[in-house]
Amino acid sequence: MECIVLDEKVHYDGSQISSLWAYNLKGVQYDSIVAFRGGCDVKIEHMIDLEDKRMGDSIYSTDMLHFLIEHFDSTDLKLVYARQRLFTSIVAESLSDTGIVTTRQGDDLFVNGKKLTISIASTSSVSQKIHFGINVYHDFYGNLNDIGIDENKAVSLLADIGKRYVAEIHDIEKDLRKSRPLDVI
Amino acid sequence: MECIVLDEKVHYDGSQISSLWAYNLKGVQYDSIVAFRGGCDVKIEHMIDLEDKRMGDSIYSTDMLHFLIEHFDSTDLKLVYARQRLFTSIVAESLSDTGIVTTRQGDDLFVNGKKLTISIASTSSVSQKIHFGINVYHDFYGNLNDIGIDENKAVSLLADIGKRYVAEIHDIEKDLRKSRPLDVI
Amino acid sequence: MECIVLDEKVHYDGSQISSLWAYNLKGVQYDSIVAFRGGCDVKIEHMIDLEDKRMGDSIYSTDMLHFLIEHFDSTDLKLVYARQRLFTSIVAESLSDTGIVTTRQGDDLFVNGKKLTISIASTSSVSQKIHFGINVYHDFYGNLNDIGIDENKAVSLLADIGKRYVAEIHDIEKDLRKSRPLDVI
Amino acid sequence: MECIVLDEKVHYDGSQISSLWAYNLKGVQYDSIVAFRGGCDVKIEHMIDLEDKRMGDSIYSTDMLHFLIEHFDSTDLKLVYARQRLFTSIVAESLSDTGIVTTRQGDDLFVNGKKLTISIASTSSVSQKIHFGINVYHDFYGNLNDIGIDENKAVSLLADIGKRYVAEIHDIEKDLRKSRPLDVI
Amino acid sequence: MECIVLDEKVHYDGSQISSLWAYNLKGVQYDSIVAFRGGCDVKIEHMIDLEDKRMGDSIYSTDMLHFLIEHFDSTDLKLVYARQRLFTSIVAESLSDTGIVTTRQGDDLFVNGKKLTISIASTSSVSQKIHFGINVYHDFYGNLNDIGIDENKAVSLLADIGKRYVAEIHDIEKDLRKSRPLDVI
Amino acid sequence: MECIVLDEKVHYDGSQISSLWAYNLKGVQYDSIVAFRGGCDVKIEHMIDLEDKRMGDSIYSTDMLHFLIEHFDSTDLKLVYARQRLFTSIVAESLSDTGIVTTRQGDDLFVNGKKLTISIASTSSVSQKIHFGINVYHDFYGNLNDIGIDENKAVSLLADIGKRYVAEIHDIEKDLRKSRPLDVI
């Protein structure tokens, strides 16, 4: 698994959650986390969370940090959701190391009582993907600018968070290769 | 999934990591997290982590909070390890809410540079289990007493952490039932 | 898992076999069996059984009891088909308790040599579903009216059969949590 | 999958539930149901159901029809338990065709309010197995003799039930090869 | 699993890689390898390999031997790709027995430094499929005619290769039913 | 996945097929193929193939090339057996490149009508393993010495075959990350 930070801005319209997007964009042939900055306006046809669709929610932000994680090792929904929650914790840890305290509720982070992030996870029959977005600026929701993270620092989060997730997955893969099976009573 | 807090102290010798221990102890027939207080001295024949075995490590503590998680919904090693990391984050969040800042490295929590916790995860062919222990007192390693958590507060962590994990799993199970499959590019 | 009996009639056109239909209709976020009464006319684009499609079969009935089962715990075809056969047996048991003897052949029930029911099962990459329909009235096929089950009794089958399936699944989930792994010769 | 009816009597002591027993006995290298007649006295070390072990239950009968099913296509606990329930229904259907009405509760059949059968299911890391036993004679529990099934008829059930299960599995395997995936709402 | 050799020529346009094509064509309700001769011109909308799509590759041949393998026993990508490589080896072995030495690189066979074959593998949520094509004639790529395999011999490869694959799968299924689980150190 | 060639000779007694042997020996925490030279005398308690056990076969050779493959990415029996057959083909390809023509039958290679190799594959609940041995010298069975492969060349096969398998697995992992899911008819 590797982390790829895009130099260019990419506008997130929801098509990027599709399986094999990273391959199509960059020829990526390993599990990956692709991180980039850009606006967010998810089109109704790309909404994965049916609650958003039912509610007619707009998922809109002018400026976000985006992370798109893709694993091809499993299509198990339980696993991609556990990984999504773990990723959310990793984002909180990265922010905490820059002095920002957040509160996690499932796959959401809150700062000063305001929702700072969005996230969704799902599978196709070939891969599992997670999208995670953090507001850089926002008029209504929590955002990095309001809590004193300037642009440079915000951009540096792309690589920092990406690397932490890659390290976590590598660490897990190593740990599970030194544990014997459970006994049974 | 439910949380069971044992009133009695239980000495953890490693046999409790066996599949079906909760059923044998209390007739538990659902996924569970069993939380209790007690000493810790893992016998060599119950060591799951072969690194400990190779190193001849003793896993010893006079007083710990113990959590034993058992899921029967999957025997996938990747899933139980993702859940173990997520649980570690949940413990950190619970401690954080009592004012204690810890640092997570994989399945370990550190406080003031000292290792506060131990953990292992594995599967049998019928279930997956996680053990997680937090030192209440310890002469050498990090422990709750040193960082100002008195006995009552320590004991209250058993239920608090247990409930958080149960809530997390329920939240995941609900979320995965409203997400449609990914499109493919 | 829960059973939901709809008060309103719903015309079954095959779209209801889609994954996440129960969520979309009622916000259901658990495994479910949704039971309702209504006509049946499956559109060609919703046919799951390719034999029906090849044969150009119409799947038509003016009045049926319908059951739509959705599980998110697995996308294994073998499992959803075993559950479908088990459900068919459960329907037979429910009818037997009202004095009606049927004969099961795979996923079909026959009464007095006439086909009483229709059924299909399949998976998407997020869930598995079963549709099962029982004729209330029918000019040609077996139906509840012909065998002396009046309207009230027919409607009461919706809840009775639904509850039996929920109980069966709960019973299975409990049983598999008290069995140790097999030995090996 | 094939059915093998043993001519000789075999005393069931629980060792037969082990994976690969059929291979060891007869060199069987396909999924199988082995049916035979014999006494039953399950040794404590072969008990799979921990409830029996905790209760100190004896599982004893002087004369039973035994069925041992082994599948190598999956080690999923949910699947073997669904198959076990389906098999229990098949036994009830076979008995019904000889004029005997039974009541099913999970994996048990009752006749005249008395428990007629015993059953257990589990997995190892290579196969899944089901044991199902029907009392031919018994002083206390339900048995075939009491309900008018003579020895010859009893013995003929071995092949009849075995063939029904094989036919059911073949029918399922054929059905799942003509169903397209579900759509998603 | 069975091998079906079609008497008629079929033009391969990529639609045949779809799940359930064999059922639709011939009512096949078992795992199968369908072998036939015909041209090849894969339409862009049927391309499974996104590298071909990105490159705007044409996948064109006037005359090929085609093999379409479908398994319903698993939707695991790792398994279908291992089977695809194994099939490629089997083709090489069949050619070797007619005196033709080829070199395998992954899922490709080369003869005299020229690419002789094409192949792709993937899954849907109901089955896994492999397409494998061998040029009979070709102006640019390796082909059977150039290496001295005449038409009759070429056609006889359809059945020879098909039978070898079926035998291999049966042999595997038998072998895995006589191996006990691994011990653990 | 990596290949490790041991400099020292190791006597293969069957204990090396156990899960986690490579970790215990060398602290290996990735999927691996460990290659070494040494005698072979499999103790009855380490026999995985029950046919050998039933037959009372001895599995004996004074001098062999051994390969022990361990994957932690799956415990699927079908996958490990497909990989075993693929590995057998890879050994044949390596030998072919040194001018030795062999014939493959399942997991066996023959040379001049004599069995040259032995192999077994299985799973535990944490990993899957393959053992493959090639006779260097043997009085009765096929062996490398008889077919003109001297000691140095034999030893060089350890690394050559090991590298080919690692390359094959990496190639598969790359290929499956550029294929979109199948359509369905």
Distance of alpha carbon C56 from the chain centroid: 22
> Of the candidates C124, C173, C176, which has its C-beta nearest B181's C-beta?
C124
Q: Is the Cβ pair D29, E178 closer than 8 Å?
A: yes
| Total count of domains within chain F | 1
Using DSSP, state whether A183 is helix, strand or coil.
Answer: coil
Is 90 exceeded by the pLDDT of residue D95? yes
Q: Is residue D114 a contact partner of residue D142, using CB atoms and an 8 Å limit?
A: yes
Contacts of F69 (CB under 8 A, 6+ apart): F32, F33, F83, F87, F129, F130, F131, F132, F165
Whole-number Å distance between alpha carbons of F177 and B63: 48
User: Chain F partners of A73 at a C-beta cutoff of 8 Å?
Assistant: 73
For residue C110, the domain's CATH number is: 3.30.930.10
Q: C169 pLDDT band (50/70/90 cuts)?
A: very high
Rounded CA gap, C98 and D96, in Å? Answer: 16
| Contact at CB, F124 and E181, closer than 8 angstroms | yes
Q: Write down the residue that tokens 């059929």 correspond to.
A: D22
pLDDT bin (cut points 50, 70, 90) of residue D52 is confident
**Do residue C125 and residue A185 have CB atoms under 8 angstroms apart?**
no
Say if residues D4 and D29 touch (Cβ distance below 8 Å): no
**What amino acid occupies position C116?**
L
Q: Choose the closest CB to E24 out of C50, C75, C122.
A: C50
pTM flag (> 0.90): yes
Q: Angle at CA E6, nearest 5°, toward C57 and F180?
A: 70
Q: Residue D108, SS3?
A: strand
Q: Are D126 and F184 inside 8 Å of each other by CB?
A: no
User: Residue range F110-128: average pLDDT?
Assistant: 97
Distance in angstroms (rounded) separating the CA atoms of residues B166 and B173: 11
Q: What is the mean pLDDT of residues F91-110?
A: 97
Condensed to tens digits (0 to 9), the pLDDT of residues C58-103 reads 789 999 999 999 999 999 999 999 999 999 999 999 999 999 999 9
Task: Note whether C79 contacts D78, CB cutoff 8 Å.
Answer: yes
D179 pLDDT more than 80: yes
E44 belongs to a structural domain: yes
Question: What number of helices (H) and strands (E) belong to chain B?
Answer: 4, 8
- φ, ψ for residue D43, nearest 5 deg: -70, 145
Phi then psi for residue C5, to 5 deg, are: -100, 120
Q: Which residues of D touch E72 (CB under 8 A)?
A: 173, 176-177
CB < 8 Å to E181, chain F: 122-125
Residue range(s) defining the domain that contains residue A62: 2-176
The per-residue pLDDT for D48 is 94
Under a CB-based contact definition with an 8 Å cutoff, are residues E19 and E127 in contact? yes
pLDDT at B57 over 80: no
Give the model's pLDDT for residue A185.
85
Residue D183 lies in a domain: no
- Asked if the Cβ–Cβ distance from B176 to C20 is below 8 Å, we say no
pLDDT computed for residue E53 by the predictor: 83
Identity of the residue in C23, C125, C177 whose CB atom sits nearest the CB atom of B177? C23
Burial grade of C10 (CB within 10 A; 0-12, 13-18, 19 or more) = middle
Nearest to E123 by CA among A74, D20, D163, F113: A74
The pLDDT score that the predictor gives to residue E54 is: 80
pLDDT at F58 over 90: no
Average pLDDT, chain C: 96
pLDDT digits (tens, 9 = 90+) for A49-94: 999 888 777 789 999 999 999 999 999 999 999 999 999 999 999 9
- The Cα F27–Cα F11 span in angstroms is 20
CA atoms in the 13 A half-sphere facing the CB of A169? 21
A95 within domain boundaries: yes
**Distance between CA atoms of A171 and A177, rounded to whole angstroms?**
10
Nearest CA in chain F to A127: F177
Could you give the percent of chain D with pLDDT greater than 70? 100
The Cα D96–Cα F35 span in angstroms is 60
Give yes or no for residue C110 having a pLDDT over 90.
yes
Q: Any idea which residue has 């899922």 for tokens? A: E107
Is B75–F20 a contact, with Cβ atoms under 8 angstroms apart? no
Is A137:A37 a contact under the CB 8 Å cutoff? Answer: no
Q: Which DSSP string corresponds to C129-175?
A: EEEEEEEEE-SSS--TGGGT--HHHHHHHHHHHHHHHHHHHHHHHHH
User: For position B56, what pLDDT does the model report?
Assistant: 73
Q: How far is A120 from A50, CA to CA, in rounded Å?
A: 11
Per-residue pLDDT of chain A (185 residues; tens, 9 = 90+): 999 999 999 999 999 999 999 999 999 999 999 999 999 999 989 999 999 888 777 789 999 999 999 999 999 999 999 999 999 999 999 999 999 999 999 999 999 999 999 999 999 999 999 999 999 999 999 999 999 999 999 999 999 999 999 999 999 999 999 999 999 98
ipTM: 0.96
- Pull the structure tokens for residue D73: 């296509």
Q: What is the pLDDT of residue B98?
A: 94
Q: What is the pLDDT of residues C24-51, one digit of tens each?
A: 999 999 999 999 999 999 999 999 999 9
CB F154 within 8 A of CB F144: yes
CB E143 within 8 A of CB E121: no
- Per the prediction, chain F carries an average pLDDT of 96
Give the nearest partner residue to C126 out of B125, B127, B181, using CB atoms.
B181
Residue of F nearest to B184 (CA): F180
How far is C-alpha C20 from the chain's CA centre? 16
Is residue B183 included in any domain, yes or no?
Answer: no
E59-79 per-position pLDDT tens digit: 899 999 999 999 999 999 999
* Residue F134 binned pLDDT confidence (cut-offs 50, 70, 90): very high
Alpha-helix residue ranges (DSSP H) falling in C41-150: 50-55, 77-97
β-partners of residue E33 are E3, E69
Is the separation of the CB atoms in A141 and A61 below 8 Å? yes
Q: Is residue F14 included in any domain, yes or no?
A: yes
SS3 E69: strand
Neighbours of A (≥3 Cβ pairs closer than 8 A)?
Answer: B, C, E, F
Judged by CB atoms closer than 8 Å, whether chains meet at C177 and B23 is answered as yes
Give the tens place of pLDDT for each residue, D2-42.
999 999 999 999 999 999 999 999 999 999 999 999 999 99
Neighbours of chain D (3+ CB pairs under 8 A): B, C, E, F
Amino acid at E130: I
What mean pLDDT, rounded, does chain E reach?
A: 96
Are A172 and A141 contacting, i.e. CB atoms less than 8 angstroms apart? Answer: no
Residue F44 CA to residue F50 CA, distance in Å, equals 10
What would the pLDDT profile of E28-52 be if each residue is shown by its tens digit?
999 999 999 999 999 999 999 999 8
Strand-by-strand arrangement of the A2-5 sheet: A2-5, A32-41, A60-71, A128-137, A117-123
Share of chain B above pLDDT 70, in %: 100
Length of chain A: 185
Q: Which two tokens stand for residue B40?
A: 């810790």
Q: Which residues pair with E119 in a beta bridge?
A: E132
Work out the mean pLDDT of chain A and round it to a whole number. Answer: 96
Residues of D within 8 A of B75 (CB-CB) are: 75
Considering only alpha carbons, which residue of chain C is nearest residue B123?
C181
pLDDT of residue F46: 93
**Structural domain contains residue F62:** yes
How many Å apart are CA E116 and CA E134, to the nearest integer?
6
Q: How many residues does chain C have?
A: 185
Q: Is the pLDDT of residue B58 over 80?
A: no
- E174, D124: Cβ pair inside 8 Å? no
Quick check: F67 and F34 in contact, CB under 8 A? yes
Which residues of E make CB contacts under 8 Å with C? 20, 23-24, 27, 72, 75, 125-126, 180-181
CA distance F125 to chain B (A): 6
Q: Tell me, what's the pLDDT at B53?
A: 83
Across the interface, which of C50, C75, C124 has its CB nearest the CB of E20?
A: C50
Assigned domain for D182 exists: no
Q: At what angle do helices F151-175 and E77-97 cross, to 10 degrees?
A: 130
Chain D residues with CB under 8 Å of E180 CB are: 19-20, 126
Over residues F160-165, mean pLDDT: 98
> Packing angle between helix F77-97 and helix E151-175, nearest 10 degrees?
130
Q: Cβ of C74 and D78 within 8 Å?
A: yes
Kindly indicate the confidence band of residue E135, based on its pLDDT and cuts at 50, 70 and 90: very high
Q: Which residue in C17, C53, C77 has the most chain E C-beta atoms within 10 A of its own C-beta, making it the best mutation to test that interface?
A: C77
At residue D183, what is the residue type? Answer: D
In a domain, F181, yes or no: no
pLDDT surpasses 80 at F56: no
Q: Which single residue is written with the structure tokens 């006295």?
A: D41
- Collect all residues of chain E within an 8 Å Cβ-Cβ radius of residue D178: 20, 23, 29
Question: Strands C60-71, B60-71: parallel, antiparallel or unpaired by DSSP?
Answer: unpaired
Mean pLDDT computed over B152-175: 97
Contact C172 D17 (CB under 8 A): no
Q: What angle do CA D133, D134, D140 make, to 5 degrees?
A: 115
Task: Indicate whether C54 pLDDT > 90.
Answer: no
For F125, phi and psi rounded to 5 degrees?
Answer: -80, 0
Size of interface B-C (CB pairs under 8 A): 56
Structure confidence at residue C158 (pLDDT): 98
| Closest F-chain CA to D181 | F184
Q: Which residue of A has its CA nearest to B183?
A: A18
